[in-house]
Amino acid sequence: MTGAPSHDVRLEWPDGRTRSMDIREDETVLEGADRVDVALPFGCRTGACGTCTGRLLEVDESDPADAGRDSGAGAVEAAFAYRRRPRALKDRHRDDGYVLLCIASPRVDCRIAVGSSVHAELVENPWK
């Protein structure tokens, strides 16, 4: 066991299912979910494919590290530490609060939209 601090992360699926879990600062959200047998979509685990994309819904207002912020790029930066560069996300995605859960470790308590449909939001049919 490690003594790393942890945060309460609530995952919310589009069908209404939710699950709260403690995720340590030294593990990624994907690893933390895996540890308690919660399946999240993933592919490369290196921040290149976007399969694991989640969307930051809210950070805990009572957390002093992040008072007054909601979603968006600034909030993502404050809410997570990335292990490596999130190459699958473009600036516009980061601005919209998307986060790669395979390489992001929480720094505050937060709520995240998860499930494969979040990744599908990143890319639209360019001809339609």
Partner 1 sequence: MSDASIPDDVEPDHEHEHSHHAEGPGYATPQAAIEESDREKLAYVMSLYVGTDVDAPDFVAVVDIDPDSDTYCKIVDRIELPNRGDELHHFGWNACSSSCHVEGLERRHLIVPGQRSSRIHVVDTKERRNPELVSVIEPEDVYEYDLSAPHTVHCIPDGQILISMLGDADGELPGGFLELNEDFEIEGRWEPPGEIEMNYDYWYQPRQNVMVSSEWAAPKTYYPGFDLDDVEEGRYGRKLHFWDWEAGTVEQTIDLGEEGLIPLEVRFLHTPESTHGFVGAALSSNIFHFWRDEESAARSAADEASGDEPRAADGEGKYRAEKVIDFEAREHPDWDMPVPGLTTDILISMDDRYLFGSNWLHGDIWMYDVSDPSNPRRADSLSVGGTFGEVQEVQGRKLSAGPQMIQLSLDGERLYWTTSLFSSWDEQFYPEEGERGSVMLKADVDPRKGTLELDEDFLVDWGECPAGPARAHEIRWPDGDCTSDVWQ
Write out the binding residues for partner 1, residues 59-88 only, by CB under 8 A: 84-85, 87-88
Residue pair 30/19 in contact (Cβ under 8 Å)? The answer is: no
Write out the binding residues for ligand FES, residues 19-48 only, by CB under 6 A: 42-45, 47-48
- Residue 55 binds partner 1, judged by CB under 8 A: no
Please, which residues have CB within 8 angstroms of residue 13's CB and are 6 or more apart in sequence? 113, 114, 115
* Position 123, amino acid: V
Size of the site for ligand FES (CB under 6 A): 13
| Binding partner at 21 among ligand FES, partner 1, none, C-beta below 5 to 8 Å by kind | none
Residue 66: what are its φ and ψ, rounded to 5°? -140, 30
- Residue 49 binds partner 1, judged by CB under 8 A: yes
